[in-house]
Amino acid sequence: MFKASSLRYRYTQLYVLFILGLFIYVVARSIGPGITNFQDNFYKKDFLIEQANLLRIKLGNRVFPVVLLGKDGWMHYTGDGELSYFQNTRKMENEEGLIKKLTTLNQYLKSQGITLIVVVAPDKSSIYADTLPGQITPLSAQSWLDSFIAYSGGDNLPVLVDLRPALQTARREQDVFFKSDTHWNGYGAFAAYTTIINVLGNSYPELKPYAVSDLNMKLVTTDPEVRDTARIMGITTVTEKNFLIAPKKSFVQTSHPSIYYGYNQFSSIPESELPTLLMFHDSQGAHYLNDYMSMNFGESHFIHYLSIPEYLTRESIQQFKPDIIVIEMVERALEQLDGLMPSWEAP
């Protein structure tokens, strides 16, 4: 009995020494680059976070910082108030002010012969509400976006394109969002593109959306990669493929004059007499929509929406000379547009 207890005590000592030694080793490796960056340089930090989150998932946890695990492996981003918008508990703070600015902008553009449309890319939760946990439901019948669309009717305002119906319809054929990303996939972006060009075709009959059967279009499948919501959780074992719809022979010339923010893409079709596009976009636009849109315009200028104060001005409009201006923003961020339009305060 004494020998067994002594042996157990010795093993316990060795285990404690091992843990202590491991802790000292990790701390030493972590402070090597400098104590001021200890948190960022913590040894095997990413690996430890990933293993901890995978263990939490196995234990049934569904709520993580800015991520909510839904049904059948669907990951939902919860930052920027997305769930508040989904549950219809959040309202746009200055809806009337935004309406006035859009009215002023649209009246000016009309005087210059320019068409303006505002495109709202839906939040993932608006299209895949059925993949959220059952406890997450709308708390009132009308969403803030429904209210904004109803409030913004009138001849002096730009056309507001609500993409929710198109994506809900397209979803019946194939998923339009990634399971582990906040963005639509290539199929969802193509459904959005088709809807936008159809709306613009009411004013410009020469604008017709391409179909997969046109121009020998093909599906291009990409290699699996870690998408943004999984990346937020630090999980690298969840990957998804994507496919793009593209012509077999490219006819659009594209350059990227700057980084993602600012004026980030110029596209043109040589010897084309099609209209010129000036498009302000967010990350949904950068996820395939911009490239699809460029197929229908002689010249296309793409600018990140955070640069609206710099580029959506009378001076810039005179420089670009667009026939059409498109402002595309995701549903949960649309209220930011009011603060981005200082040049268009109502007189």
Q: Mean pLDDT check: name the lowest of 241-250, 254-263, 276-285.
A: 241-250
The pLDDT of residue 1: 47
Q: In this structure, are residues 296 and 320 in contact, taking their beta carbons and an 8 Å threshold?
A: no
Q: Any bridge partners for residue 64, and if so which?
A: 67
Average pLDDT over residues 296-309: 97
- Per-residue pLDDT of 311-333, as tens digits, reads 999 999 999 999 999 999 999 99
The pLDDT of residue 65: 87
* Domain boundaries, given as residue ranges, for the chain: 1-43, 76-344
Q: How far is CA 239 from CA 147, 153, 181, 235, in A?
A: 37, 42, 10, 9
How many whole angstroms separate alpha carbon 342 and alpha carbon 180? 36
- Per-residue pLDDT of 84-132, as tens digits, reads 888 888 777 778 888 899 999 999 999 999 999 999 999 999 999 999 9
- Per-residue pLDDT of 158-168, as tens digits, reads 889 999 999 99
- Of 338, 346, 339, 342, the closest CA to residue 148 belongs to 338
Q: Which residue has the higher pLDDT, 28 or 65?
A: 65
Is the pLDDT score of 16 beyond 80?
no
Mean pLDDT taken over the chain: 86
The C-alpha torsion from 271 through 275 and 278 to 280, rounded to 10°, is -110
Q: In this structure, are residues 274 and 207 in contact, taking their beta carbons and an 8 Å threshold?
A: yes
Is the pLDDT score of 142 beyond 50?
yes
Average pLDDT over residues 230-251: 86
* Beta-sheet strand order (sheet of 324-330): 159-162, 115-121, 324-330, 276-281, 299-304, 263-268, 253-255
- Per-residue pLDDT of 24-39, as tens digits, reads 665 665 565 555 555 5
